[in-house]
Amino acid sequence: MSKFIKAFSRHLWIQFKMDIRERGTLLTYYLLPLVFYFIVGSVFVSINPASKQTLAFSMTIFAVTMGAVLGMPAPVVKMSESEVLRAYKVCGIPGWATLLVHAVSAFLHLSIVSLVILLTAPVVFGAGIPTNYASYFAVLFILLFCNIAIGLLIGVSAKNQSAATLLSQAVFLPTVMLGGIMFPASMLPGALRTLGYLIPATYAMQSFSGYAFGLPIGVDAALSLMVLTLIGIAAAILVVLKSKAVKTE
């Protein structure tokens, strides 16, 4: 076990540094989410001062979704196309272990971005702060787990880079438009509001609002957190099953 932990830690450190050096990953994990946050945050606050209450966690959900759903699949697909995953498996290293390294690395990167947003939003935009920090970080943990599992699932399901891009956009765009990030879900037509309940971001918004910020919510916070967790678990199980299906020939 100690050898596994040592090897895993070494691989994780290497992967963490590689993510920073990879231009596409750096863009989707750090630059684009933070630029969007500072620009759109200033617009939201000037147009609708009431958005200060939800700015911190709505932008966190945006950043995590962008990093996990748009940033993670591409490196995973590259590994599959270059036979790296298959080579690992031939050498006795299970595919899930390699994917776990990517997942933990993404978790660390996106946690850093989330902390930047949490710490700067009250200072720069006068945004609301959590009334319960323990609940905030608990919801953030589940949000990261769920989105990273979805990002990995896209990566192991797509056969090539083009398919991964299409699948990522198919998840990301509805998340932004229907999840309550850009504007309250109550402003959507009934049909689109119903579709929004199929999106993890909807439940993340409700969980942050109810548990961490003490704001009025439309869906019970406990139920929202449970649904978000179940989506993440289902996606993670599918990732493991997909990784085991990699042939060793």
Nearest to 143 by CA among 200, 71, 99: 200
CA distance 3 to 9: 10
Res 6: pLDDT:
74
Nearest to 67 by CA among 146, 141, 173, 147: 147
Nearest to 246 by CA among 73, 68, 96: 96
Res 49: pLDDT:
84
Nearest to 204 by CA among 151, 154, 138: 138
CA distance 169 to 119: 29
Nearest to 168 by CA among 147, 182, 184: 147
Res 248: pLDDT:
43
CA distance 69 to 55: 21
Give whole-number Cα distances, 74 to 14, 41, 147, in Å. Answer: 18, 28, 15
Q: Where are the domains of the chain?
A: 2-244
Phi, psi of 246 (to 5 degrees): -65, 125
CA distance 129 to 123: 10
Read off the DSSP letter of residue 22. Answer: -
Tokens at residue 32, please? 């684009």
CA distance 211 to 180: 17
- pLDDT tens digit at each of 249 positions of the chain: 566 677 677 777 877 887 777 777 888 999 999 999 999 889 888 888 888 888 999 999 999 999 999 988 988 888 776 666 666 666 666 667 778 888 999 999 999 999 999 999 999 999 989 999 999 999 999 999 999 999 999 998 888 888 888 999 999 999 988 888 887 777 778 888 888 888 999 999 999 999 999 888 878 889 999 999 999 999 999 998 887 765 444
Phi, psi of 94 (to 5 degrees): -65, 145
